[in-house]
Amino acid sequence: MHTFELYFAAAILAGTPLLLAATGELLGETVGLLNVGIEGVMLIGAVTGVVVTLHTNNAELGLLVGALAGAVFLLVFYALPVVALGTEQILPGFGVWFVGLGLSQLIGVNYENTPVSSGSTVVRLPGIDRIPVVKELIGQYPWPVYLAFVLPFVVAWVLARTRHGRNLRAIGEDPVAASAGAGIAVRWWRTVYVAVNGLLGGFAGAVLAVIAVGEWGTDVTAGRGFIALAVVIFSGWRSMRLIVGAYIIGALLILADLGGALSWPIPSEFLDMMPYIGAVAILTVWALRPGRRAAAPGSLGVRLKYSG
């Protein structure tokens, strides 16, 4: 069953950018900021990552610069209006998407479909890389895959069990009480976590383009930023559930490749549709589960005036 191992590994790789972007978005939403423009951030990260990698022949540097570009991009187009000027959150989010879409095409116009020759460092888990089958399933991925897998656990621990995490949750629940009542620097931490959201979103885009796809192409993300948004909702704002959602969608994303390899009598266009149908399906199922809705941060997406 060599096909299964390959499919499994490909699914994990496809789910990794989703997981990274969703983790960033979850942190942003924890402090009450709904950013619907993850797609734009990922595109900026993707094009920057590919361009830097092509010029320096260094994929790690490409990933790093892609992440930083995402952070700067989101700070300018999202934190500035929403946090500094106090606008509502949805339109700036769409602005991030539109600007990201256009700007990434502009930057990438001369680099389209140029394959990235150098890959990222593959980490072989000591011990596990000797066990057959298991080795192929979980033992040898580029390092961002392991990072994406570990991050949700770290986030869960920080949010649930540390002073800092408690403060962050308070900002998303009730920014006025957090600021005036508890003296938390709401604006500062919101700005910081917009940057973190951008960092992870840009990194996710760079991982997608540099590692998973291996080249830049217009709209290479194909809606993955929106799927990441759905994965956050599906998780019920509990970061460890992001892992489940991201990998399920990851498996659906490469269904067309599997179908082609096994010569399924199903049109590949139909299989390409699956991740989006899957996203809608899991959101529907989630919405039908009783008592889940209360999990969202109390002030998520709420525009308000606050001091501090």
Partner 1 sequence: MRTIDTESASSIRERAGERAVKLQLEGIEKSFGLLAAVAGVDLDCYAGEVHAILGENGAGKSTLMKIVAGDLQPDAGHMWLDGETYRPASPKQAMRRGIGIVHQDHQLVSRFTVAENLFLGWDGADRVGGPRSLAEQASAIVDRYGFELDPTSTVRDLSVGEQQRVAILRALVRGVSVLILDEPTATLTPQEVEVLFGVMRNLATDGCAVLFITHKLCEVLAISARVTVLRAGVRVAELGAHECDERLLAREMLGRDVESPSKGDAPPRAVSEPILQASGVTVRDDRGSLAVDDVSFEVHSHEIVGIAGVAGNGQRELSEAVTGVRRVASGRVLVDGKEMTGEDAASYVRAGVGHIPEDRLTAGMILRESIANNSILKMLHVETDRSNLTRGPWLRRREIDRFARQLLVEGQVSTSDPKVKVANLSGGNIQRFLVARELRAASRLLVAVHPTRGLDVGAADRVWRILLRARDEGIAVLLISEDLDEVLSLSNRVLVLSAGRIAGELDNTGAPPSREHLGMLMGGVEQEALVGSAAALKGCGP
Judged by the rule CB under 8 A, the positions of this chain that interact with partner 1 are 160-164, 166-167, 169-170, 173-174, 176-185, 298, 307-308
Query: To the nearest whole angstrom, how small is the minimum distance from the Cβ of residue 184 to partner 1?
Result: 4
Query: To the nearest whole angstrom, how small is the minimum distance from the Cβ of residue 176 to partner 1?
Result: 7
Distance separating alpha carbons of residues 24 and 67, to the nearest angstrom? 11
- How many C-alpha atoms does 128 have within 13 Å on its Cβ side? 12
Query: To the nearest whole angstrom, how small is the minimum distance from the Cβ of residue 188 to partner 1?
Result: 9
Q: Return the number of the residue (1 or 294) whose C-beta is nearest partner 1.
A: 294
Q: Which residues of 171-180 are buried (b: 16+ CB within 10 A; e: fewer)?
A: bbbbbebbbe
Query: To the nearest whole angstrom, how small is the minimum distance from the Cβ of residue 151 to partner 1?
Result: 18
Query: To the nearest whole angstrom, how small is the minimum distance from the Cβ of residue 117 to partner 1?
Result: 44
Distance separating alpha carbons of residues 153 and 93, to the nearest angstrom? 27
Q: Return the number of the residue (184 or 243) whose C-beta is nearest partner 1.
A: 184
Distance separating alpha carbons of residues 26 and 34, to the nearest angstrom? 9
Query: To the nearest whole angstrom, how small is the minimum distance from the Cβ of residue 180 to partner 1?
Result: 5
- φ/ψ of residue 142, rounded to 5: -60, 150
Tell me the C-alpha to C-alpha distance, in Å, between residue 192 and each of 24, 69, 83, 168, 184.
12, 15, 10, 11, 13
Q: Return the number of the residue (112 or 173) whose C-beta is nearest partner 1.
A: 173
**Per-residue DSSP letter, 307:** -
Q: Return the number of the residue (165 or 217) whose C-beta is nearest partner 1.
A: 165
Q: Return the number of the residue (135 or 166) whose C-beta is nearest partner 1.
A: 166
Helix axes 224-235 and 268-288, enclosed angle (nearest 10): 30
**Which tokens hold the place of 16?**
């990794």
- φ/ψ of residue 69, rounded to 5: -60, -40
Q: How far is CA 259 from the centre of its chain?
A: 26
Q: Return the number of the residue (61 or 176) whose C-beta is nearest partner 1.
A: 176
Q: Is 138 helix (H, G, I), strand (E, B) or coil?
A: helix
Query: To the nearest whole angstrom, how small is the minimum distance from the Cβ of residue 81 to partner 1?
Result: 22
Query: To the nearest whole angstrom, how small is the minimum distance from the Cβ of residue 86 to partner 1?
Result: 16
Q: Return the number of the residue (119 or 183) whose C-beta is nearest partner 1.
A: 183
Q: Return the number of the residue (266 or 295) whose C-beta is nearest partner 1.
A: 295
- φ/ψ of residue 124, rounded to 5: -105, 120
